[in-house]
Each structure stands twice: as C-alpha cells, then as structure tokens.
Amino acid sequence: MDEIFKRTENQRKDIHNSDIPVVCRACEARHGGMCGVMTPQQLTELSKFTTRKKVNPGSEVVGQGEQVAAYANVLKGVVKLSKMLHDGRQQIVGLQFAPDFLGRPFSRESTISAEAATETEICSIPKAVLDRMVGDSPELEHKLHQQALVELDEARDWMLTLGRKTAQEKVASFLYMIALHYDPESTERTVFDLPLSRADIADFLGLTIETVSRQMTKLRGDGVIQIENNRHVSVPDMERLAEVAGIE
Amino acid sequence: MDEIFKRTENQRKDIHNSDIPVVCRACEARHGGMCGVMTPQQLTELSKFTTRKKVNPGSEVVGQGEQVAAYANVLKGVVKLSKMLHDGRQQIVGLQFAPDFLGRPFSRESTISAEAATETEICSIPKAVLDRMVGDSPELEHKLHQQALVELDEARDWMLTLGRKTAQEKVASFLYMIALHYDPESTERTVFDLPLSRADIADFLGLTIETVSRQMTKLRGDGVIQIENNRHVSVPDMERLAEVAGIE
DNA sequence: CGACGAGTTGAGGAGTGTCAAAGTGAGTGG
DNA sequence: CCACTCACTTTGACACTCCTCAACTCGTCG
C-alpha cells in the first residue's frame, strides 16, 4: 500500500535502542513525528545540531533571525500559527500539537507567525541541516509530505467552518476538535483543558471575544458542555456536541 | 539551495524531444507541472496509462468509482474543490488551474469534491500507477510535496480572508487573486474573464450571491473595476484593487 | 487591599442574510 | 425574425446575526 513506509518499518526491525542518541530516546517526535522515520545514523547526525528549548506562552517560536532560520518539532504544548492584516486583524490558521513539525520547508517565506499558546517545548533544527537531510532521504521527505497533506486537510476543513458555519457551530466545532485531539476515541464523557484563551479562540474562529463567550455560555446553558475555571471543559456527550457543531 | 531540483535539471540537459511520448510533447503539465520533473522513461511508462478527457462545467472531475480512484493533471480550465455541510451549505476550499495536480496522494479520502468550473481538460492517471511511481521517484514526490505546500499556503491565505475580511474586501481579494493568476506581472490595466459564476464566487468567499453582486456593483461604482457581460472584468489599477482587498 | 488581566453580560447598531421581484442574455421553436 | 423560456444576475426591503462599546465580575499577584 505504502511502500516507503514498509521499507522503513523493515529497517527499524534491526534497531537497538542503544543506537539511538540519548536526547532522542524518550522523545515524542519519534512516535508519530518526523524522527520516527529516521535511521539511528540519521538521528545521531541530526542530534548534533538540535537544541531543546522551552517557550513561554505568547512568545514567538522559531522567531526570525534565530539561526537565520530554523525548523522545529513541537514536543509539548500547543503552537498557534497566525496571519495578520496590516490593520491588526488577526486569524489563526493552524494549531500544532506534539509531535508536529513546524516550519516551511524549501523557503519561500510565507507571512505566518508561530507563537506558543501554552507552555511549550520544542526541538529546534537549523534549516540548512534539515534541508540537506531531506534531500538525501526520501523517507524523510515522504513523512513531511504526509504531514503537509494532513495540515492541508485540516486547513480546508477549517475553511468550511470559517465560511459557512454560525457562531454557535464554530465554537462547538472548536471544542469538538480539541476534545478529539486529546482523546481521539472518546464516545462517553470527555474532559480537557482548553489550550487557548478566549481571545485566541476568537482569532481562530473569525469571531470576537464577546461572541465566543456568549456562545460558550449558551452551550453551557443547553447542557452540551460544562465549564470550570474558564479553561476546564467537560463534554457529557460527544455526539451531541458534534451535532451542534454541524458535523452529523 | 534545492538539491533535488538541481539534480533534475542536470538530467534534463540530455533529453531529446524525440524521447518524449507524443501525447506529452505539447502538454501543459510538463511546464511547471508534475510531469516536468519526470525522465523520458518515466513519461513513456506513465503515458501508457493516462487518458486525456474533456470535462463540462458542473461535472465531477475524477468522480468516485471511475477506475476506483484516479489522479489527474488539469490541462485547461479551472477546477473547484469544495466541501459541503449535510444541510447543503457549501464552501469552495480551493481552485486548481493548469497545470495543477488533482487528487489526494496516499488515500485517506477527504470529503472533498472536485468539479469543473469552466470547460476543462484533464489528464487522468490511475491511482495505483502514480502511487508506485512516486514510491520509486524521490524527484516526483518532491514535486508533489512542493505543490502541497503551495496549496497549504493558499488555503491559509484564504482562511485569513474568510475569517477576518469584510464582504467588500473578500470580493476584491477574489478579483485580485484571479487577475494575478492570469497575469502575474501586471501593474497596469489588467483584463480577464471570471472563471466562476456569482454562485461559485459566493461559495468561495463564504457569502451569498446577492452580497457578491452588491459588492461588485459597488466596486464598479467606485471605479475600481469595470464589468462587461457579467464575466469580463477590467482592472485599471491593480494597486488600487489590492488596497481595497486589504493587501497593503 | 487595590490593581490588573481575563472573562462575562448588556444595549444598541452595522453588515450580511433572506425573501421577493425585476432585468439581462442565450438558446429554442414557431 | 420574433416571442418564449430559462438560467443567471441585479436590485430592493426587511430581518437577524454578530460586532462595538461599555460596565461588571472574578481570580491572581504584588
């Protein structure tokens, strides 16, 4: 079905954990992330150049200038990708969770800024190093290609939400997406903390803070969700939420 | 800078036109499209399985069932990618022009439908054939990866438009995008035909037909554009249009 | 304790959507 | 050649959603 994947799996049969660089052993990015398709040699090579960093909420991740340009893997926390109009109107165009890859391969700077939404940890990779490795490793390019396609699907799903849903449906859709992200299987009660402030949610949904707040209140009043502490949300019935979100 | 590209360029130095399959010689897809990175051998192999087709406006391109699943290159015309809510609300999430690639590599069917917006011609490629070639050819995967990233950028640009711009700015942004597509250099007067009906434009912008119509009328009244025949548009000053579109 | 940021709630208004009717152009058949 | 139809577009009147501005609540931290 997916030949490149099979090839990679076979390679990995012979891998002993001791071959893998210490910094990578317990790393999120090897489970589902980009580093999962790399050989021990590649990991060893790459790990010479990577830096693990904490990023505080609100700070730029991989700010411009820093090593001229770098990529990163998100290891913990949530990073928001956003775009701005010159008059200050802002739109969040994507959320990256661990172990997502961060950065735009093959340059052509898009005007996107990446900012930590929560307490975040990243593994920063100099641009030149990764670009070279991708050129030499079809498996790695394949993996990044896959992730780009997933992000494209997500972006397009969100376009439907932005363009055609009501405020109520938008907020419900957001909650539903976050809930699924923390518990993909959930059918019964689902509980989670929102990684975004009301302002961020508004920027994600193309609404104002006030409208988001009102819709949350309404969802609470209708019994679709329960809220505690502003950030802590509990969903008694995911199907009900999906229905309100316009996701049959 | 981009090693894979360089490698491909070198390969192509030795290519004689006679090596290239007849059907491919004058084909759009070799100029900027996916086929531009393929060797004569690859093209010959691929061309055994491809079918060139006309598609009428409104018909599904690569409808499901047709060869189980197929990819396609757009050779002429415009294809709209759209998503629908179960109650019929629709959102166009992308436009594909020649020589764009059409289809979702590596399965995972997304719920997108592709429909011809204008008189369209495509080169249809059976899924299995291309999947195999991509597995064997890093250059080809690189090219598709690149295109996916471009589409991702476009999708995110559009999210900003959908979420944060006014109806006026949305319509202006749409006209600006189309104008640039037909004449990327244009600084002076730019003239073009809209590939989409008002209904399609509305579905692209997350508006209603009536609002689109009113905003077009207003842009005409303000002298930003001239309209003839509903479809034929003339822009005397692209910078003025960009300004109205909220693109500084 | 007071100041501050984040969130909620309220009143009023602007911008779009909805519904309805009229205008326009292309194609058809008499 | 002209009426007729049909799809598409424009225009108008009105309603409603969501935004704006403002006040208030709550929890946190110095």
Judge if A77 and A173 occupy the same domain. Answer: no
Give rounded-to-5 percent helix, strand, coil for chain B: 45, 20, 30
* pLDDT reported for residue B107: 58
Q: Which of A102, A137, A156, A205 to mutate to test the interface with B (most CBs of B within 10 A)?
A: A156
Domain boundary among B111, B127, B161: B161
Q: Do A141 and B141 touch (CB under 8 A)?
A: yes
Judge if B26 and B148 occupy the same domain. Answer: yes
Q: Report the chain B residue with the minimal C-alpha distance to residue A169.
A: B85
Judge if A157 and A171 occupy the same domain. Answer: no
Judge if A72 and A139 occupy the same domain. Answer: yes
pLDDT in tens, B41-60: 999 999 999 999 999 998 88
A28 vs B132, residue with greater confidence? B132
Cα A219 to Cα A172: distance, rounded to the nearest angstrom: 8
Judge if A128 and A183 occupy the same domain. Answer: no
pLDDT in tens, A169-209: 999 999 999 999 999 987 779 999 999 999 999 999 999 99
Judge if B53 and B169 occupy the same domain. Answer: no
Is B183's pLDDT higher than 50?
A: yes
Domain residues for the domain of B235 are 165-244
Return chain A residues 151..190 having CB < 7 Å to nucleic acid strand D: 166-168
Region B212-220: what's the mean pLDDT? 98
Q: Do B155 and A160 touch (CB under 8 A)?
A: no
Query: Which CATH number characterizes residue A178's domain?
Result: 1.10.10.10
Region A22-41: what's the mean pLDDT? 92
Nucleotides of strand D under 7 angstroms from a protein beta carbon: 8-13, 17-22
Q: Do A162 and B157 touch (CB under 8 A)?
A: no
Q: Are A79 and A200 in contact (CB under 8 A)?
A: no
How far: A22 CA to D13 C1' (Å)? 71
Cα B31 to Cα B50: distance, rounded to the nearest angstrom: 18
Sign of the torsion formed by the C-alpha atoms of B160, B163, B164 and B165 = positive
Region A224-234: what's the mean pLDDT? 94
Q: Which of B89, B105, B144 sits opposite A164 (nearest CB)?
A: B89
The rounded mean pLDDT for chain B is: 89
Query: Which CATH number characterizes residue B111's domain?
Result: 2.60.120.10
Task: Provide the edge-to-edge strand list for the sheet that holds A226-228.
Answer: A190-193, A232-235, A226-228
Return chain B residues 197..226 having CB < 7 Å to nucleic acid strand D: 197-199, 209-210, 212-214, 216-217
Q: State which amino acid sits at residue B121.
A: E
Token pair 């070799």 is found at: B30
Judge if A145 and A174 occupy the same domain. Answer: no
Judge if A132 and A189 occupy the same domain. Answer: no
Judge if A171 and A234 occupy the same domain. Answer: yes
Phi, psi at B166, each rounded to 5° = -80, 170
Residue (of A126, A56, A115, A108) closest to B150 by Cα position: A108
Q: Are A95 and A78 in contact (CB under 8 A)?
A: yes
* pLDDT reported for residue A187: 73
Region B216-223: what's the mean pLDDT? 97
pLDDT in tens, A59-70: 888 665 555 578
Domain boundary among B161, B181, B211: B161
Q: Which of A107, A149, A150, A154 to mutate to test the interface with B (most CBs of B within 10 A)?
A: A149
Is B234's pLDDT higher than 80?
A: yes
Domain boundary among B161, B190, B208: B161
Judge if A157 and A170 occupy the same domain. Answer: no
- Contact between the CB of B166 and strand D at under 7 Å: no
Judge if A93 and A196 occupy the same domain. Answer: no
Q: State which amino acid sits at residue B244.
A: V
B104 vs B114, residue with greater confidence? B114
- Beta strand pairing call for B226-228 and B90-97: unpaired
Judge if A47 and A131 occupy the same domain. Answer: yes
Q: Considering its fold, how many domains does chain A have in total?
A: 2
pLDDT in tens, B10-27: 454 455 667 889 999 889
| Chain B residues near residue A142 by CB distance under 8 angstroms | 141
* pLDDT reported for residue B247: 93
E strand or H helix that includes residue B190: strand B190-193
